[in-house]
Structure 1
Amino acid sequence: MAKQGSLNNKVVWITGASSGLGKALAQECALQGAQVVLTARRKDELENVRQSLANPDQHVSVVADITDETQVRHAYEQVLNQKGRIDWLINNAGLSQRALIADTTMQTERAIMEVDYFSQVFLTKTVLPTFLKQKSGRIAFVSSIAGLLGTQYRASYSAAKAAIHMWANSLRAEVADEGVGVSVIFPGFVKTNVSFNALNGEGKAQGHQDEAIENGLQPEEFAKTVVKSLLADEEYIVVGGRKEKLGVLVSRLSPSTLYKMIRKIKVK
């Protein structure tokens, strides 16, 4: 048996694992002795990540588009067949946005909500019976500081990230007595491809890097902080620079001050 506070031989399933935060989390979990299950849409990219992990042979790639319920059910069966249990589920797959509300089509609004909210809900509901049967485990959601604050150019993204945070809060309350933990992670700016892949108003990838992301935390630093916090059973995990942490603090103490601050900042 792995000791309390250790990831040794624990099974950690990470979505959106082919790049960015998911890849960094996978690398950190593997370093800590976990058996990592990597999920994303592209097999070759997942395999590249798997090969980059410590002890590559004890990890598996399970390909699935998380917005496709049939593929998600199939992926879940594969994970249980190959690993027999799930100790952590990290719902990390996500899609960002860089567009004003007036320029965003309804199709784009729905696409972002589908990836950042509904698909996370469905995967979690699919996996939940295993956690309840085990009477152990932790389910984590990668939300965003945008889900706590709401800024220009990210309306649908902020809304979806806020929605998954509130859904996770309800889940936590419902499973608290079943031995299952629920954590929400709120990254600020981390240096990944998130802004290259962010959708514009027409639903196409933006294709260039934001200055704030370029100057953000290194993904490895982010992953170390998150894994340490999850091992300590923390439920509300804010990871970012001083500006983002200040914004979160102000949002709690004085929402109206925060709204005035947000109007003045350059966020695109």
Structure 2
Amino acid sequence: MQKQGLNGLDKKVVWITGASSGLGEALAKACAKQGAQVILTARRFEVLEQVRANLFQPERHISFAMDVTDEAQVQHTYAQVLEKFGRIDWLINNAGLSQRALISDTSMHTERAIMEIDYFSQVFLTKTVLPTLLKQQSGRVVFISSVAGLLGTQYRASYSAAKAAIHLWANSLRAEVAEQGVQVSVVFPGFVQTNVSFNALNGAGQAQGHQDEAIANGLSADDFAAQVLKALMHGKEYIVVAGAKEKLGVMLSRLSPKALYKVIRKSTVK
């Protein structure tokens, strides 16, 4: 694996989706501190500008309002990025949407909405950027998956499926571009203190609107970002950033799936 070293992001161009809050905002701060020029994208330009203003050397960075599920907006933003910077070194696919509903209560509209943002939008953006990375013969694509995409639990079936799908798509991409200078990493967060549970969809496709206890007691977003950045700068491809219980679950899923799901069936995970 290629190591980038402690100064590996100096003057590198890093594009982060879902950068207006939570994991995306924390990753933007961490990358900026390491000298990167950060491209922040999300739907709310004013909020992005607030994030940008709090980054190290804010004048080096740029915000673009973009809905990752709108392919025309994605292509327009991509053209603007190339016009501004001329290259892309890291693409961090972070934008996502969680779920808090039983399968029997989840409408097909909600199923598709989660898959659209957590899988298809990341596929489209990556396929849009990929020709530039291949032309450069350098770069890294990062996907923010989830421990839920490795395990699968109650109330998160669609979310788990989408996060698992992007993980396996990333594995295929890695195999296809490995000899062309492009690296691919997948990050699997456990419980991290963000607003993800506020925005998580119920079965009818409406935001849950309140915090989960597990999220409230999780890792800080800054701690998460620091661990992720360290792993990425050392060329890691499979990165689990989680608490002890989540890491134990990941290990158990490999050693004894049957034992894991006995535990999951008895757990309160909502």
SS in 2 for 1:61: strand
C-alpha distance after superposition, 1:61-100 (max 9, x if no partner): 0111000000000010011111110000000000000000
SS in 2 for 1:208: coil
Shift of the alpha carbon at 1:249?
A: 0.2
8 Å contact 2:185–2:238 — kept in the other structure? yes
Q: Which amino acid letter does the alignment assign opposite residue 114 of structure 1?
A: E
Q: Which amino acid letter does the alignment assign opposite residue 124 of structure 1?
A: T
Aligned to 1:265: 267
Aligned to 1:46: 48
C-alpha separation between the residues in 2 aligned to 1:171 and 1:76?
Answer: 20
C-alpha separation between the residues in 1 aligned to 2:112 and 2:235?
Answer: 33
Identity %: 74
8 Å contact 2:95–2:117 — kept in the other structure? yes
Aligned to 1:197: 199
Give aligned pairs, total.
266
C-alpha separation between the residues in 2 aligned to 1:94 and 1:4?
Answer: 27
C-alpha separation between the residues in 2 aligned to 1:249 and 1:143?
Answer: 17
1:1-268 aligned within 5 A:
4-5=4-5, 6-268=8-270
Q: Which amino acid letter does the alignment assign opposite residue 51 of structure 2?
A: V
SS in 2 for 1:28: helix
Q: Which amino acid letter does the alignment assign opposite residue 228 of structure 1?
A: K
Shift of the alpha carbon at 1:241?
A: 0.3
SS in 2 for 1:159: helix
SS in 2 for 1:209: coil
Per the normalisation by structure 1, the TM-score is 0.98
SS in 2 for 1:62: strand
C-alpha separation between the residues in 2 aligned to 1:209 and 1:155?
Answer: 19
RMSD: 0.7
8 Å contact 2:4–2:235 — kept in the other structure? no
Question: Structure 1 stretches of 5 or more lacking a match?
Answer: none
Question: Structure 2 stretches of 5 or more lacking a match?
Answer: none
C-alpha separation between the residues in 2 aligned to 1:92 and 1:259?
Answer: 28
C-alpha separation between the residues in 1 aligned to 2:263 and 2:238?
Answer: 23
8 Å contact 2:118–2:159 — kept in the other structure? yes
C-alpha distance after superposition, 1:178-198 (max 9, x if no partner): 010000000000000000000
C-alpha distance after superposition, 1:207-262 (max 9, x if no partner): 00000000000000000000110000100000000000000000011111111111
8 Å contact 2:4–2:234 — kept in the other structure? no
Spell out structure 1 runs of 4+ moving beyond 3 A: none
